[in-house]
Structure 1
Amino acid sequence: MLGLLQGLICVSLAHSAVSVPAQPAQLAWLPPSHPHQRPAPRGEYRMEPGYSPYPGGKDAPELRMPSGFSRNIPERRIHSHNDYWRDVPVYTALSHGALSIEADVWLNPKDDKLYVSHNVASLTRARTFSRLYIDQLVDVLSRANVHDEETAFFDKTDYWTMANEREERRLWTSFYEGNLTPIQLLVDLKTRGNETYHTVLRELEPLRSRPVLVLLTGNGINLDVRSQVAPQMSRDVFLDAPLLRLDETWQGMDGGHYGWNSTLAPMASASFASATSWDGRKAISAAQETTLSQLLRTAQGRGFKTRLWSTPRWPTHVRDRVWRTLYDLGTDWLDADDIEAAAAF
């Protein structure tokens, strides 16, 4: 039998040699599952970018991984300052691993909607808070936290139950697979008054079941707003505390007296220029470093995350020196206008 098989193989090879002229440069390498596979001549095959051995190429179902949405994007504790300036708000920052973004909002009393811009002159009807931020964050988190027929197929594979713990874990898994750090959204209220605050609460409704930590800043920490937020026993919108005024107190709408704490305000911020006399042009002095370090450590000791905004942007060597110093001193958030430079830092 073995001899017969060997003879058949020889005949087959001989037949191939006669019927198919040898043209190595034109022979295509076919994947193992192909019914008419012919191995590429030795030296004619090599790996190339974009190659896939699966039928369907890069679109093959075997290569469709749910957690691939943020694959190879390391999380970075970068705050995307003035995020709405970017070509594509939300996505540009998240694609570089930033975990915090910021939107300045203005209430238009003509339609009771929030619009995004740094100043009134740059407002347009198309750039609404809902369209630029709420809708996009809902879309991003829906794509990152897949819940479909595939999820249901494997719902009993581990010890989590789909209706309880597993669902809770799914909702509170952030854009980064397996990381329980939520995306942080700072909403800087540009228009004053309770109307703006209550409009923000209304427009945030689609995010309430999503892993997004919302902090109000700007006019959002004025007395009229914090006097309402502080007395709340249960809240899903928080404040950005003033880093240089953490000891101030105020009276709430319920008549009680309140002060800054990390339960009310998970983060404390200040402008770089107000926090230190050092401008970054030269190496920081020992005295300036001690003062800045104590400011950050004191706030962190009380449970606040720290952020210094509007750090120098130019010259770039000054910017990088300031970033390096703040990072070494242990600031929790690196505030950045140039998100690409901060990601490569």
Structure 2
Amino acid sequence: MGRSLLFLLTVLGLVAGAAPAAAAPDRDRVRPLARAHAHNDYEHTRPLFDALAQGFTSVEADIYLVGGELLVAHDPEDLDPSRTLRSLYLDPLRERVLRNHGVCPGFRDFQLLIDIKTEGEATYAALDELLRSPRYAFLWTRYAFGRVWHGPVTAVVSGNRPRATMEAQRTRFAFYDGRIADASDLGPGSDARLTPLVSDNWTKLFSWTGAGPMPADERAGLRSIVRTAHRAGQRVRFWATPDVLGPERDAVWRELVAADVDHINTDDLEGLAAFLR
């Protein structure tokens, strides 16, 4: 079987580990919220599922490589051998895609942002092996043959990500989270086939945190960032935006929506869902 045919069969879920399930499609029809990103999603009572129940279309998981296994936690002292990337995210996503032919009904491109906390090269190697395994390979948007092939889930790697290694891969099952402040990541000098997402710390780029009107120069800067990214086919996300219930948070969220920022970062799932609806 030729490589191209094998690749296409994998995309369609017709190779080992990707056979369609017999279960009926999920009837829960929560309206997907394209901008909703669950920061530190694994800290919720039901990782992944609480976000999906609110219509979130992007979730974030921090990973540590421990004894050959990818464990999910925010800090090393919170590591639990039972809380793996596989059990908390990959297996539930696999089951949902096979049952519903997608993660969120009516929304094509669910994002799994994976933040590497341990040494980049070794952790990414373990992650890459897991993503491309026959059990999960059909899930992912991937880069191959010089182009991007869309799947139900796009895995994006943040944190200690090994750019040179990822850039050199001829077939890649994950993408690189660039930095807005890095000219090689944002805009015309970048390649959205590697870096479809650019993120940065809000407080490093803006002084305004929601009190009073946003300064005109900062509003213009925000909108310039988004325009530059979108022209290059990239999405935009900020972390460290205000996330305490109140008028300041709402003011920042309104500016993010007005600027067409793609992902709004929060730990308050219900709060952001209510705001976006």
TM-score interval, smaller chain: 0.7 to 0.9
TM-score, normalised to structure 1, is 0.65
> What are the Cα deviations for residues 185-206 of structure 1, in whole angstroms up to 9, with x where unaligned?
0110000142111111122233
Paired residue type of 1:218? G
Q: 1:246 — aligned with what?
A: 183
Q: Does 1:344 align with 2:274?
A: yes
Percentage of pairs with the same residue: 33
Task: Flag structure 2 segments of 5+ consecutive residues without an equivalent.
Answer: 1-22, 140-151
Instruction: Work out whether residues 52 and 104 of structure 2, in 8 Å CA contact, stay in contact via their aligned partners in 1.
Output: no
Q: 1:227 — aligned with what?
A: 164
> What are the Cα deviations for residues 207-239 of structure 1, in whole angstroms up to 9, with x where unaligned?
21021101100001xxxx111111223322111
Among 66, 69, 86, which residue is 1:113 paired with? 69
- Larger gyration radius, structure 1 or structure 2: 1
* Larger RCO (CA under 8 A, 6+ residues apart): 2
Q: 2:212 — aligned with what?
A: 282
Aligned partners of 2:185, 2:25: CA distance in 1, in Å?
44
Report the Cα offset of residue 315 of structure 1. Answer: 4.7
Report the Cα offset of residue 74 of structure 1. Answer: 3.4
- Give the 3-state SS of the residue equivalent to 1:234 in structure 2: coil
Aligned partners of 1:300, 1:261: CA distance in 2, in Å?
12
Paired residue type of 1:144? N
Q: Does 1:129 align with 2:85?
A: yes
Change (3 A) 1:267 1:341: same
Instruction: Work out whether residues 70 and 176 of structure 1, in 8 Å CA contact, stay in contact via their aligned partners in 2.
Output: no
> What are the Cα deviations for residues 301-336 of structure 1, in whole angstroms up to 9, with x where unaligned?
222110111211125211111011111111011111
Aligned partners of 1:112, 1:68: CA distance in 2, in Å?
34
- Give the 3-state SS of the residue equivalent to 2:90 in structure 1: helix
Aligned partners of 1:271, 1:193: CA distance in 2, in Å?
20
Report the Cα offset of residue 68 of structure 1. Answer: 4.5
- Give the 3-state SS of the residue equivalent to 1:135 in structure 2: helix
TM-score, normalised to structure 2, is 0.80
- Give the 3-state SS of the residue equivalent to 1:69 in structure 2: coil
Q: 1:140 — aligned with what?
A: 96
Among 172, 177, 198, which residue is 2:105 paired with? 177
Aligned partners of 1:75, 1:279: CA distance in 2, in Å?
23
Task: Flag structure 1 segments of 5+ consecutive residues without an equivalent.
Answer: 1-64, 146-173, 250-258
Cα RMSD (Å): 1.9
Report the Cα offset of residue 248 of structure 1. Answer: 6.4
Q: Does 1:194 align with 2:124?
A: no
- Pairing 1:28-47 to 2, within 5 Å after superposition: none
Aligned partners of 1:121, 1:312: CA distance in 2, in Å?
26
Aligned partners of 2:35, 2:62: CA distance in 1, in Å?
20
> What are the Cα deviations for residues 75-113 of structure 1, in whole angstroms up to 9, with x where unaligned?
4321111111110011111111111111000011xx211
- Give the 3-state SS of the residue equivalent to 2:63 in structure 1: strand
- Give the 3-state SS of the residue equivalent to 2:93 in structure 1: helix
Q: 1:154 — aligned with what?
A: none
Q: Does 1:330 align with 2:260?
A: yes
Q: Does 1:92 align with 2:33?
A: no
Structure with greater proportional strand content: 2
- Pairing 1:76-87 to 2, within 5 Å after superposition: 76-87=34-45
Q: Does 1:270 align with 2:207?
A: no
Q: 1:209 — aligned with what?
A: 138
Paired residue type of 2:155? V
Aligned partners of 2:121, 2:53: CA distance in 1, in Å?
34
Corresponding residue pairs, total? 237
Change (3 A) 1:260 1:314: same
Aligned partners of 2:93, 2:35: CA distance in 1, in Å?
18
Instruction: Work out whether residues 39 and 59 of structure 2, in 8 Å CA contact, stay in contact via their aligned partners in 1.
Output: yes
